[in-house]
Amino acid sequence: MLADGFHKVPLGKVATVVTHLEMQAAAPLRPVALPDGLELRQVTPDLDWYRDIFTRVGGQDWLWFGRLAMADEKLQAILDDPKVTFHTLSRGGRDEALLELDFRTQGECELAYFGLTSALIGSGAGRYLMNEAISMAWAQPISSFHVHTCTFDSPQAVDFYKRSGFTPYQQEIEIADDPRQIGLLPENAAPHVPLLRA
């Protein structure tokens, strides 16, 4: 058990508090129309598409890096798995969102990744995409729809998930190599997270 008090994070590492949330029955939707000019589409992604949208949605602003650290073969296996689905919102032929639903555990769906690029923030697209996520998840024979977010993510994320019908049930602390120091993300990514060199 982790003792109360402060704990030093080694130089070159980053630490984040991860909050796990769950929905045990389909939550009522908060209806919103698809914003003008956007198209929801399912994607059969390749590595280049996935890494591009992953980085534009979460890498620059929020320090998402887990999938960037994966070996090509491991990530490609996820992209090819029929029990993992990918959707995006497109505007003028450019993809601006990532919705990844993972049904690989029987009876469950993980909202593995969910987010918008800065081009769609504040447009209502996030609520629309969440409604689609809830509908798609509960269209399958599941008893749990779950997601996790962390203090590297938008500070609005936990409240957004709670308003969507998820309930927090657990927290963890994650420590990892700082992705800006190992070349996964540029050094100016996520300026709200201090870069402490090893």
Q: What are phi and psi of 37, to 5 degrees?
A: 85, -5
Residues of the chain predicted below pLDDT 50: none
Q: Is residue 109 part of a domain?
A: yes
* pLDDT digits 0-9 by tens, 21-65: 999 999 999 889 999 999 999 999 999 999 999 999 998 889 999
**Geometric angle at alpha carbon 164, from 153 and 80, rounded to 5°:** 65
The structure tokens listed for 138 are 């509960």
Q: Is residue 133 part of a domain?
A: yes
Q: Which domain holds residue 95?
A: 19-144+159-177
Q: Is residue 117 part of a domain?
A: yes
Kindly report the CATH number assigned to the domain that includes residue 75.
3.40.630.30
Q: Is residue 7 part of a domain?
A: no
Q: Answer for the pair 29, 162: CB distance below 8 angstroms, yes or no.
A: no
Strand partners, 20: 148, 170
Q: What are phi and psi of 154, to 5 degrees?
A: -55, 140
Q: Is residue 183 part of a domain?
A: no
Q: Is residue 165 part of a domain?
A: yes
Q: How many domains does the chain have?
A: 1
pLDDT for res 198: 83
Residues contacting residue 136 through CB under 8 Å, at least 6 positions apart: 85, 87, 101
Q: Which amino acid is at 47?
A: L
Q: Is residue 124 part of a domain?
A: yes
pLDDT for res 50: 98
Which is it for the CA torsion 192, 91, 40, 65, positive or negative? negative
pLDDT for res 2: 79
Chain Cα centroid distance, residue 91? 20
pTM of the model as a whole: 0.94
pLDDT for res 83: 98
Q: Is residue 36 part of a domain?
A: yes
